[in-house]
Amino acid sequence: MQLRTLGRTGLSIAPVVFGGNVFGWTADARTSFELLDGFFDAGFNTIDTADVYSRWVPGHTGGESETLIGQWMKNSGTARDKAIIVTKVGSDLGDGKKGLGEAWIVKAVEDSLKRLQTDYIDLYLSHWPDPETPYEETLSAYDKLKSQGKIRAIGCSNLDADQLKASLDAAKKAGLPRYDAIQPEYNLYTREKFEGPLADLCVAEDIGVINYYGLAAGFLTGKYRSEADTKDKARGGGMARYLNDKGTRVLAALDTVAKDTGSKPAEVAIAWLLAKKAVTAPIVSATSLGQLQSLTKSASLTLSDEAMALLDAAGA
């Protein structure tokens, strides 16, 4: 498997990143460990998580995903330098634990390192914009953590083009490290948040892109085609926004290309992302080995120009 260079981070990652939000939520500890074993056995090397995963689950406080990843790394015997760990800071953990101020970042990174049972984080991301904290303060905190060897590279998530440009300008002016990677929401259905100015800026500035919701929270797997399909499913409640004429067109195009290529809609949706110039590696999640095997196939699926044109038009 050919690795991809993530912008200027110096990190070489496989073309698909495992989304760790499911760990401790829709995947229990045993299943999480099996999925991680299968993912790395297939030649992939990058796990994405965040300190807030999975605070939304009743009884959880955040950090559950990082804890399971740390336990897996310790128990599996996987060499630390074989795994690339991406985690994030800034989401609201309650009791004032949120944002991108230096004091909280310094505390939060120690908490993440402890849960992950590691000495360093490969890629540390600002999870959300923080209008109350200047970019210079946040980047200065990251600069210190880099010099201490606690993080290797930095990035951001959910910034628009103007915000990312402002952060780059602030870094240059202050002589601080810049964001070299970004996590935007981007998939065959939701394109307006990334395509255009933000994608153009990432290409121009050589910023690595690890997009989330690559399967639109599961919609692009094709298993949600009507309101009836959303009943009694963990993620079913978020499908209403996709169940419309555009969603129907996108699924129809995916079905056509999947049939022509002998693959599944989810594999086609990820392959479409991998064909996009600005994308380094999409984040995908799985809660079973069957789903994992299907998603990893997408890394070797090449779509024809005709297939790309059909998909582009459906999701425009």
Q: Which residues are catalytic?
A: 53
Q: Round to whole Å and give the CA distance between 92 and 161.
A: 23
Contact 179, 155 (CB under 8 A): yes
Structure tokens at 88: 């994030």
Contact 220, 226 (CB under 8 A): no
Amino acid found at 215: L
Distances (CA, A) of 156 to 110, 127, 211: 19, 6, 11
Question: From the CA atom positions of the chain, what is the Rg in Å?
Answer: 19
What pairs with residue 88 in β-bridges? 125
Contact 214, 282 (CB under 8 A): yes
Could you tell me whether strands 17-19 and 12-13 are parallel, antiparallel, or unpaired per DSSP bridges?
unpaired
Could you tell me whether strands 283-284 and 17-19 are parallel, antiparallel, or unpaired per DSSP bridges?
parallel
